[in-house]
Amino acid sequence: MSSQVWFITGSSRGFGHALATAALEAGDAVAATARRPEQLAGLVQRYGDRVLPVALDVTDPAAAAAAVQAAADRFGRLDVVVNNAGYANVSPIETTSEEDFRTQFETNFWGVYNVSKAVLPVLRAQGHGIVVQFSSVGGRVGGTAGLGSYQAAKFAVDGFTRVLQAETAPFGIQYVVVEPGGFATDWAGSSMKTPEVPAEYDPTVGELIRILGSGRASAGDPKRAGEILVRAVKHTPLPTHLLLGAGAAGMAQEYSQRQIAEAAAWEQVSRSADFGQPYPVELPAGKV
């Protein structure tokens, strides 16, 4: 299929806007969604009727279903669905309000759930489709102080997507989990709240806030990322997980190597938990 129809959440800025632009530059059509669709006027002015601006709050399941139906009605099919909308606030888990933690999760996980569920009947009926789920290298590696809700949601997106892949493979639906590192978007800008950090958490959470404020974590170019993704979804075979950024690639490989080393060190202990296996066995060398 030489041209594709995209459905992209969070298209008004950041990755979503860069990806929508890259797809349109490649000659594709885009249903571009945003909470405030008037922010998409520039795309409509530049690319005309190849853009369908759609109002969408991804935390609203009925709105997700209506947006998907509007896009399918307009273009006749959906080839690539991108769950990009998301945001993070930075604060220690201990002092983050339950409301804030849950509200972040509503967008970062339940938004993905709502849109993914809404598109499944369309993609299943078509017999094809690609779903691109934006996670983060933190959704693979984790452990970033101050991003408890955000990273928990990104881990959930990955697990959710792996199950979807298993369930819907007979329908011709494919999935890509995108795992960016730090990019020059507004992710750490006006959309991020950083309440005052207690002194006890200044060396950890406070340090992340200082790094984000300095711009040192924003080496990635969103324009390049959008162009890479447009090329990647047209490639066979698709990657199941696509890291973006030099930092993300390095962090993921180091983490995987540590996981393999630890699993190997504890292998005999792990095996000994089964009936019929030698038991007890010595723990790996170290302190008891």
- The residue type of 61 is P
Distances (CA, A) of 9 to 2, 103, 107, 159: 23, 18, 11, 20
Asked about 154 being catalytic, the answer comes back as yes
Asked about 150 being catalytic, the answer comes back as yes
Catalytic member of 12, 154, 175, 218:
154
Compute the distance between CA of residue 60 and CA of residue 231 in angstroms, rounded to an integer. Answer: 31
Identify the DSSP state of 91.
Answer: B
Catalytic member of 12, 91, 116, 135:
135
- 89-104 per-residue burial string, b: 16 or more CB within 10 A, e: under 16: bbbbeeebeeeebeeb
- The residue type of 167 is E
184-209-245 Cα angle (round to 5): 35
Instruction: List 174's β-bridge partners, or say none.
Output: 130
Rg of the chain (C-alpha set):
21
Catalytic member of 47, 113, 116, 150:
150
Distances (CA, A) of 27 to 44, 74, 141: 14, 17, 35
Compute the distance between CA of residue 86 and CA of residue 106 in angstroms, rounded to an integer. Answer: 9
Q: How many CA atoms lie within 13 A of 89 on its CB side?
A: 20
Asked about 113 being catalytic, the answer comes back as no
Residues recognised as catalytic: 135, 150, 154
